């Protein structure tokens, strides 16, 4: 058994206790852990604190930007709603104004057309009266010409040579007797 005990002491995989490591390992491991923890505390903790503070600041800035953007969007939405209301009232006003202008143009057009129709009727009546006057004057002149030609033809047809001779002699005797 002694031999086994010597073998166990020489075998590095065998420890004096199944749960605890060797004492030297505990001391060296503890010192190394303290050095690592001290280095982490001195170097890594400020960097981690700074990173977390920067992250917090960045998140806060994003939240502030989001809040500002939201308030700007709400203000813009309010302006748009107001503009839509203004557009609706402006549309109503423009339509009313257009209706009024259309009514004015329509009434002015009707008045102008009525005046033009009256002028055209007066001109037409004057033209008709002038045409009547011209027609009756031309008709009288034509009747006069036709009557003259007819009288001349009637006299020429009624008078033969013997009748002409008697008329001439009767005229001469009446002129001679009147003296």
The reported pLDDT for the residue numbered 99 is 92
The reported pLDDT for the residue numbered 10 is 60
The reported pLDDT for the residue numbered 1 is 45
DSSP summary character for residue 20: S
**Rounded distance between C-alpha atoms, residue 120 and residue 114, angstroms:** 10
Residue 123 counted as domain residue:
no
Residue 177 counted as domain residue:
no
The reported pLDDT for the residue numbered 15 is 66
Cα torsion 134, 138, 139, 145 to 10°: value is: 170
The reported pLDDT for the residue numbered 13 is 66
* pLDDT tens-place string over residues 5-49: 544 556 666 667 778 888 888 999 999 999 999 999 999 999 999
The reported pLDDT for the residue numbered 12 is 63
Residue 37 counted as domain residue:
yes
Angle at CA of residue 156, ends 155 and 159, nearest 5° = 80
Residue 62 counted as domain residue:
yes
pTM: 0.35
Residue 2 counted as domain residue:
no
Q: 84 is in which domain, residue-wise?
A: 29-111
Own/partner contacts of 142-150, CB < 8 Å, gap of 24 or more, are none
- Which regions in the chain score pLDDT beneath 70? 1-15, 177-179
For the chain, how many structural domains are there in total? 1
């Amino acid at each position: 058994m002694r031999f086994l005990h010597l073998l166990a002491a020489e075998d590095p995989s065998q420890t004096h206790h199944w749960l605890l490591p060797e004492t030297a390992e505990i001391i060296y491991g503890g010192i190394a852990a303290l050095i690592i923890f001290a280095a982490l505390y001195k170097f890594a903790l400020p960097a981690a604190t700074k990173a977390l503070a920067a992250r917090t600041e960045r998140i806060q800035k994003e939240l502030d930007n989001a809040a500002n953007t939201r308030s700007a969007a709400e203000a813009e939405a309010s302006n748009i709603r107001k503009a839509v209301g203004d557009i609706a009232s402006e549309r109503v006003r423009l339509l009313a104004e257009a209706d009024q202008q259309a009514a004015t143009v329509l009434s002015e057009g009707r008045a102008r057309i009525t005046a033009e129709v009256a002028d055209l009727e007066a001109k037409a009546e004057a033209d008709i009266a002038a045409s009547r006057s011209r027609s009756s004057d031309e008709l009288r002149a034509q009747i006069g010409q036709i009557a003259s030609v007819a009288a001349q033809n009637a006299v020429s047809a009624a008078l033969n040579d013997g009748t002409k001779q008697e008329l001439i002699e009767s005229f001469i005797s009446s002129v001679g007797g009147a003296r």
